[in-house]
Structure formats: structure tokens, C-alpha cells
Amino acid sequence: MEKHIIYRGENIYYTVEGQGEVLVLLHGFMEDSGMWKEHSSALSKEYQVISVDLPGHGKTGIWQNSHSMEWMAEIVSTVLDAEKAITCVMIGHSMGGYVTLTFAEKYKEKLKGFGLFHSHSLADTEEAKTNRDRTIQLVRQNKTTFINKFIPDLFAQRNRERLKDKIENQIKQANEMRVEGITGALEGMKNRPMRLDIVAFSAVPVLFILGKQDSRIPLDKGMAQASTARNSQMVILGDSGHMGWAEEPEKTIAALQGFMKFCLAPINR
């Protein structure tokens, strides 16, 4: 069921499916809550699944020139309050993982566990910040050219022909975004701090889903961060790039099902 609330003058859109313990799914950069349709359908048979359109994405509004990860986490917390969800398990894909880490820092009492799905806890290097600035200029000059190149590169080379329809759908969806929504997210990601300590000292379980073919999050970087957590699970997708939710949906659904059971087990409560 699609829902929306108004917060500080703009709309927040999200979907809610199922009943029970709450699982929050957060999309990545230039995605929206619709990416989780297959996962939500499967997982809502056992849990209440909430998928949020983050600021500037999907149908949710644009508040600022820069949508910080703190602001996005506040939006997610506002949705949970609206749904009277006291606690949850939260999974974030890529940029959604940055939001999840921020949520774990600001609202840790609301979490029973969290997961980084093709994401990590480090800040942008100076080189990465420079590249973000270049990307912002590219988007402002020609959004479509940037999107048409950026999105296919997120998929493993071996999967691009097989998933041609999904890739074209992602491109179409991203092209419907406003320039300000894209650049606001880029600014927010550029300025996020390192949050490795949130992983290392987490009192709740942490999940890492990594792709062997992921050009954005190298496997060794993800494995090194996962090893710092006191209570973690790690899933390595052998046939995925950065888009394991689309490249290997069955494996990632199974990973989330297993992690939910792990987080909700009495020993982890």
C-alpha cells in the first residue's frame, strides 16, 4: 500500500506491506522504493515491510540544495513515527546504506539490526569529493547523458544483456528525477563523515551484502569493514556488480530472511 505524509511542507511517499516485526528497506542513489517490489512481496509474508522514497527520489519532495544523510535519516524516522513503528531492522542499498548508518548513529534505540547492501562506512576521499563535484556539473549540463552511462556500469558486465529490460527501466526512472534531486543527493553523500565506529561498536547485528563484480565497493573493502563488527553476517554475491537486488534477487531475499531471523532471535534482542 502506498502512503504519504507531509513533513515541513513537502510530501514523503512510502509503501507498507505485511504485518509483524518491521523491516525498513532504503533504496540507493537515483533509485526509489519500487526497486524493492520483489523483495517486499516475499518478505511481507512474515514481516511488515516499509520502503521509503528518500528526499528528491521517487515521489518524495525536495527540501534543500543538499540532502544530507542526517536529513534523510530524519525523514525515515518520521515515517516510522507515523507508522507507530517503535523498532525495526533496516537495510540500505548503496546511498541507502549511508542513510542507514546515520540512522544507527542518531536513532540507535529504534534498531534491532541493520545492513549495508553494496555500501560502506567510510567518508569520501578528497579525490572522491572532487569527482562528486564534477558529476554535479555533468548532471546540471546534461542529466540524460550522465544517467545513460552511469546506470549500466552499476551492473556486472556479464549481466547487462540478460537484465537489459531492468536496466532500461532504471534509466527511464532516473531520467524522471529532477536535477535538484540528483544533485542534492550527491552533495549529501559528498559531505558525509566516516562512520566505521558505528559498525565496529554496534550493539545490534550488522549485515554486509557484497558483490564480487562490484566496481563501486571493492570486495576487500567490504570484507575488511564487516570484520570489525562484533556481531555480523556477510553474504558475497558471486554474480553481481553493484545491483545485487536485481542481479541475484533470490539470493538477496534469502539473505534478508535469514538476517531478520538472526536479529529477532532472543539472544540478539
Work out the pLDDT band at 101, boundaries 50, 70, 90: very high
Query: For residues 231 and 228, what is the distance between their CA atoms, to the nearest angstrom?
Result: 9
pLDDT tens track for 187-198:
999 999 999 999
pLDDT tens track for 216-266:
999 999 999 999 999 999 999 999 999 999 999 999 999 999 999 999 987
**47 touches 20 (CB < 8 A):** yes
Residue 229 pLDDT: 93
Query: For residues 183 and 54, what is the distance between their CA atoms, to the nearest angstrom?
Result: 13
Residue 269 pLDDT: 55
Q: Number of H helices and number of E strands within the chain?
A: 10, 8
- DSSP string for residues in 22-38: EEEEE--TT--GGGGHH
Work out the pLDDT band at 267, boundaries 50, 70, 90: low
Going from N- to C-terminal start, the domains of the chain cover 2-268
Query: For residues 242 and 239, what is the distance between their CA atoms, to the nearest angstrom?
Result: 10
E strand or H helix at 42: helix 37-43
- What is the topology classification, in CATH, of domain 2-268? Rossmann fold (3.40.50)
Query: For residues 155 and 214, what is the distance between their CA atoms, to the nearest angstrom?
Result: 8
